[in-house]
Structures are given as structure tokens and as C-alpha cells.
Amino acid sequence: MCVCDFTAGLELNQSTVSHHLKLLKDAGLVVSERRGTWGYYSLEPSARARLEAALACVVPDRILA
């Protein structure tokens, strides 16, 4: 997904969105690719499983079901 898609959908400026996407990238949750002046982001392939495992440690099963 392009940073420009986030800015339009969230009504946030590009620098704010880029900052938060950098944090997610640094955490290993998203990967990025630069195409011209825009960055494109996608979910890191193992991120879903890692997030589910982390949530399972803190959220009761009855909430996740």
C-alpha cells in the first residue's frame, strides 16, 4: 500500500504516516519498497502469526474467538 493511500484515508500528513510506518518497519511488522518518490508498504509475511502469538499471551481465549 502506498503512503499516499494512508494519508488520504486517515487524513494525516505524509510525515506523520511515514514516521509510524517506520516504527512498524523497525519492529519487523511491515516491509517497504521505494517506487519513485513514494514508499509502498506491506505486511511482513510472519507478522500475523507473531501478532497472534503475542495477543494470545495477554488476551483471554474467549475474546479472540
The residues, ordered by sequence, that sit 6+ positions from 12 with a Cβ below 8 Å of its Cβ are 6
CATH of domain 3-64: 1.10.10.10
Query: Distance of CA 41 to CAs 23, 44, 46, 55, 60, Å?
Result: 12, 9, 15, 23, 31
At 9, list the grid cell: 484515508
**DSSP bridge partners of 2:** 40
For the stretch 2-55, pLDDT in tens is 888 888 888 888 899 989 999 999 999 999 999 998 889 999 999 989 888 888
Q: What length is written for the chain?
A: 65
The rounded distance, in Å, linking the Cα atoms of 17 and 2 is 11
pLDDT at 60 over 80: no
**Considering the entire predicted model, what is its pTM?**
0.71
pLDDT at 65 over 60: no
Residue ranges of domains in the chain? 3-64
